[in-house]
Amino acid sequence: MASQDWLEKDFYKILGVEKDISAADLKKRYRKLARDNHPDTHPGDTAKEERFKQISEAYSVLSDEKQRAEYDQIRAMGAGGARFSPGAGGFEDIFGGSFGGFGGRRGGQQYTNADFEDLLGQMFGGQAGAMGGRGGFGTGFQAGPQKGRDQRASVTIDFRAAALGETKTFEADGRKVSVRIPAGVDDGQTIRLRGKGAPSPNGGEAGDLLLKVSVRPHEVFSKEGKNLVVELPVTFAEAVRGATVEVPTLDGDTVRVKVPAGSSSGKTLRVRGRGIATKSAKGDLLVKLVVAVPSHLTSAQEKALDAFIEASPAESPREDLLRKAKV
C-alpha cells in the first residue's frame, strides 16, 4: 500500500478505536465489525460490502506490528493531511517545523537530499528513502514491501473433522494450499488463515485466505457451541425404573451414564469433558433421552398394560400446559 493511501485513510477511525488499543482488543473489535458487516450475511448490500472491505484493510495494517508502526509514523509526519509531491517542496510542508524551516538548513547547517534519505531510511527500516531511485527525491514513496492480497475459498468437511479439527489440502488460484481447520468450526463460518493468501508482489508477507467452511451433518451427533449432543433412545422400563446405559462418543468409544428413575423424553444428562476440545476450553456431551414406545405388544404385554392403566389415577399430564396457555 502506498503511503499516499495511508495519509488519506484513518484506520483507527474506521475501526472506531483509540490509537493505544492493544492487539487483543483490536482483534475483538475487528471480529465484531466483521460479523456485523460480512457480505455473506448481507447479500446484495453494497454498503455493507464496502464497509467490510474498509474494515479488513484497516485491520490488515494495524494488526501487523511493523506496518502499524510505519503507518503511525507516516500519519504523524503528514499530520493527517500532507501530500508528497515531486521535488523538495512536498517535504517542506512535512519537515519545516521539525527542522526549523526547510530551506535546507537547521541552525545554520546545510542539509542535502542524501541527509533526508538517511533520515527516512532510519525511520522506515531502509525502505522509505528510496524515492524515485537511489539518487534523489522522486514522485513515488514506498513504505516497504506490500502485503499480498486476501483471497477467498470454500471447503466442505465432515462433522467429525469440524469437531476435532483437520488439515485440509485444496487448490486456490491454481496453488495447492494446506491449512489446519480448527476444532469446533461451525457450518457456514468463515475463518481467516494468516499468510495463506496471494504472495506479495515485492517480497512482503502473503495475504490472508478467507475460508468459508460447510459442514456435513452427522447421523448421530449435533453441536451446541462446544457441546456435542446425542439423542439416546431408552425403553419405557428404563425410563420408569432407571438404568445404566452405554452412550456413543465422537471418538468411537462409549461412556456409561445413569438414567434416573422417572425420566421423561427430553431430559438431558451431561457427561463432562466429552464434547469439543479447543485451545481455550473443552465442551461436554449432552445426552437427550427419548423414550422409545414399542410399536407392537405381545398379549402378555397388552394385559400388563391394561392392568397398569386401570391402576393409574385419572389425571392428565396436560393440565398444567393448558392452564399456562391461558395466561
Round to whole Å and give the CA distance between 35 and 127: 35
Q: Across the strands, what pairs with 271?
A: 285
- Selected residue with higher pLDDT from 42 and 50: 50
Q: What mean pLDDT is predicted for residues 10-21?
A: 91
- Selected residue with higher pLDDT from 115 and 172: 172
Domain ranges, ordered by start, for the chain: 3-123, 151-215, 221-325
Which segment, 36-40, 208-212, 286-290, is predicted with the most confidence on average?
Answer: 286-290
Report the pLDDT value the prediction gives residue 257, as an integer from 0 to 100: 96
Same fold across 151-215 and 221-325 = yes
Give pLDDT tens digits for 95-104. Answer: 444 444 444 4
Pick 3-123's CATH classification: 3.30.300.20, 1.10.287.110, 3.40.250.10, 3.20.20.10: 1.10.287.110
Give the CATH class of 221-325: mainly beta
Report the pLDDT value the prediction gives residue 286, as an integer from 0 to 100: 97
Give pLDDT tens digits for 269-288. Answer: 999 999 999 888 899 999 99
Contact assessment for residue 201 and residue 143, using Cβ atoms and an 8 Å cutoff: no
pLDDT-derived band at 46 (thresholds 50, 70, 90) equals confident
Report the pLDDT value the prediction gives residue 313, as an integer from 0 to 100: 85
pTM reported for the whole predicted model: 0.52
Report the pLDDT value the prediction gives residue 162, as an integer from 0 to 100: 92
- Selected residue with higher pLDDT from 265 and 95: 265
| Residues above pLDDT 70, as percent of the chain | 78
Residue with cell string 448490500: 45
Report the pLDDT value the prediction gives residue 203, as an integer from 0 to 100: 85
- Selected residue with higher pLDDT from 202 and 133: 202
Round to whole Å and give the CA distance between 205 and 203: 7
- DSSP annotation of 86 reads S
pLDDT exceeds cutoff 60 at 22: yes
DSSP 3-state helix, strand, coil percentages of the chain (rounded to 5)?
35, 25, 45
Round to whole Å and give the CA distance between 149 and 172: 13
Fold for domain 151-215?
HSP40/DNAj peptide-binding domain (2.60.260)
pLDDT-derived band at 122 (thresholds 50, 70, 90) equals very low
pLDDT exceeds cutoff 90 at 174: no
Longest dimension (CA), the chain: 115
End-to-end CA, the chain = 63
pLDDT-derived band at 235 (thresholds 50, 70, 90) equals very high
pLDDT exceeds cutoff 80 at 58: yes
pLDDT exceeds cutoff 80 at 125: no
Distance of CA 59 to the CA centre of its chain: 13
Report the pLDDT value the prediction gives residue 143, as an integer from 0 to 100: 57
pLDDT-derived band at 154 (thresholds 50, 70, 90) equals confident
